[in-house]
Structure 1
Amino acid sequence: MITLTLINGKVYTWNADDWQKLREEYRIVGALIGCLAHLPRQDSFLGLPMVLLPEEVTLLHEQKLVRLVSYSFPSYASSNAVRQKFQEYRKTMYMQQVECFKEERKRQVTSMIDHIVEGKRRKLLGLGHKRKKAHNENESSVQDQSQSKNYEMDTDHIDREALLRDELDKIKCMDENSTLVQTFTASVWLYEEDATPVEWQYPVTSTETLRYKTFKDLWEKGYYITGGQKFGADFLVYPGDPIKFHAQFLVVCTDSNEALPATDLVALGRLGTSVRKTVVLSSLSDDGNTVLYQSLKWNATF
């Protein structure tokens, strides 16, 4: 059974195996919100932890696929043994990240060594971009031949293997740069026995009930569903894994007893057309047991 952690009203998982199982076996996508250890300064590709939609948590909880726990923050100070274990753990994690970075950097340097050697040659010859341009415009052909001979002589003086060793030595020096590890401070170490089972309270309101029943109905039909906030909708619906497919539908949950303003209909129709997706309005039947769908299509007139 997969363990999910409840923190401040949101549910997370930090375990990579659990994340993979949720996605591949149960079509639960969630949203990754952490940075990658080897690419921490970009936000195109994110990593663990993963935060789940409340509808996803409810679905998994109903089917008894997960257990929900929380950790209470202790009011007492950690013991020296706990602090030491915490420091060792953080140091191990940091060094693993360093090793990943070093291997990636080594691969990059090895694959680009030809460009590095060429840059070194041009620097020795003073063949920068501006100087090369002036050289081509002003120097005679005799000088070109002389420059070419000097170029070949300087080429022989560049030791490719030594240059590669120098670049790799710069990577090895990262082992000595361990101040980041030393500045970490330990506060608390969480153990499995500290986990407290919690009750999941969702849905509560009629709006939440509509959202959940819509999510569950689409999930049972075999779709992948994610949050649709970036498109102004409740859900984005995919025919397959979002890694391989674009979303087909923008789902907006609407109460069948409330009138939807014409301006909202126009806005939704134009939105669906501009992003090339079908806008779908979902609502519940009178008995509240069936999810009803209505698609919108924008027809522009000139």
Structure 2
Amino acid sequence: MIKLNKIDNKAFVWNSNDWQRLREEHRIVGQLIGTLAHLPRQEVFPGLPLSLINEEVTLLIEKNIATLVCYPSLSRMPGDGVKKEFEKFRKRMHKEQVECCIEERKRQITDMIDRIVEGKRRKLLGLNTKRRKKYSGTKCGTSEDQEKLSAKQLQEEESERKALLEKELSKEDACTVRWNFPVTPGEKLRYNTFKTLWEQGYFITPGQKFGGDFLVYPGDPVKFHAQFLIICVERTSALPMSEIVAFGRLGSSVRKTVVIASPSSDQKSVVFQSINWSGT
């Protein structure tokens, strides 16, 4: 069973295999919020941990896919031994990255040796040519090579980070903790909406950036655009016409179908109503 680490009422996944299982087998996307050890300011290649929204956590626990635990050792300052091991890890990873860059440069030079010799010969003869600019290399290869290197680097770093973390956590067993969500009627509506859509085979992510509650995808968000923008509204809540018009214009502007989700009359299911804007 997958272990979700609870820290300050948020759930995280630190194991790369668990992250892959959640996405491929259970359609749980979450959000990667980590960075590379020596590139902490970049956002192109996010890494572990994976942060989960409340609805995802409740669903995983309810379906017996995961269990929620906490490690009391994480709330304490690391000892000198852990600090030394982490510093050794950083230095070793930096050394390996430098070696990879040097090897890539050697391979580049070997592949382009004929062009380099030709360029030097023409320069010695005083011939003017712009071919040197065309074939000038970069320090660490092409963008495609860099992408492959970065992906491999990320995988290695996350594996090493996991191993380093497990050394410290192995000294203390995980403690199972309770998860209190949903509680309020609004939270229950959001969870039931999320659960209903998930059971229908969709991928769901937060929809705040588009002004809604959820974004619904027909497949993995890496391959597909969101089709629906879900807005949760209580059955007893008044919905002014101006808001309905605003929802319709919103869906038209972001090229998605706006869907209003409300609880049924018996409160046992969720009723969906789509809004299509046909005005000018």
Q: TM-score, normalised by structure 2?
A: 0.75
Q: Is the 8 A contact 1:38 1:100 kept in 2?
A: no
Greater shift in the superposed pair: 193-202 or 281-290: 193-202
Match of 2:266 in 1: 287
Greater shift in the superposed pair: 276-285 or 105-114: 105-114
Identity of aligned residues (%): 48
Pairing partner for 2:100 from 90, 95, 103: 103
Q: TM-score, normalised by structure 1?
A: 0.70
Rounded to whole Å, the distance in 1 between the matches of 2:77 and 2:56 is 36
Q: Is the 8 A contact 2:73 2:172 kept in 1?
A: no
Match of 1:32 in 2: 32
Match of 1:142 in 2: none
Rounded to whole Å, the distance in 2 between the matches of 1:197 and 1:261 is 45
SS of the aligned residue for 1:150 comes to coil
After superposition, give the CA deviation of every residue in 1:188-212 in whole Å (9 maximum; x if it has no partner).
9443624221001110000000000
**Runs of 5+ unmatched residues, structure 2:** 132-136, 141-166
Q: Is the 8 A contact 1:37 1:97 kept in 2?
A: no
In the alignment, is residue 198 of structure 1 matched against residue 177 of structure 2?
yes
1:1-302 maps to which residues of 2 (within 5 A)? 1-37=1-37, 40-72=40-72, 82-96=79-93, 98-100=95-97, 102-103=99-100, 106-107=103-104, 110-111=107-108, 149-151=125-127, 189-191=168-170, 193-301=172-280
| Number of aligned positions between the proteins | 244
SS of the aligned residue for 1:201 comes to coil
Cα 1:86–1:24 shift into 2, 3 Å: same
Structure 2 residue identity aligned to 1:103: C
Match of 1:171 in 2: none
Rounded to whole Å, the distance in 1 between the matches of 2:40 and 2:106 is 20
After superposition, give the CA deviation of every residue in 1:69-128 in whole Å (9 maximum; x if it has no partner).
1123589876xxx5224412442255235424642564367448859x87xx79xx9xxx
Structure 2 residue identity aligned to 1:195: A
Aligned-pair Cα RMSD in Å = 3.5
**Runs of 5+ unmatched residues, structure 1:** 126-146, 156-163, 168-187
Rounded to whole Å, the distance in 2 between the matches of 1:111 and 1:58 is 51
After superposition, give the CA deviation of every residue in 1:134-186 in whole Å (9 maximum; x if it has no partner).
xxxxxxxxxxxxx883248xx9xxxxxxxx9x99xxxxxxxxxxxxxxxxxxx
Rounded to whole Å, the distance in 1 between the matches of 2:98 and 2:239 is 53
Rounded to whole Å, the distance in 2 between the matches of 1:3 and 1:55 is 16
Cα 1:291–1:50 shift into 2, 3 Å: same
SS of the aligned residue for 1:281 comes to strand
Rounded to whole Å, the distance in 2 between the matches of 1:249 and 1:57 is 22
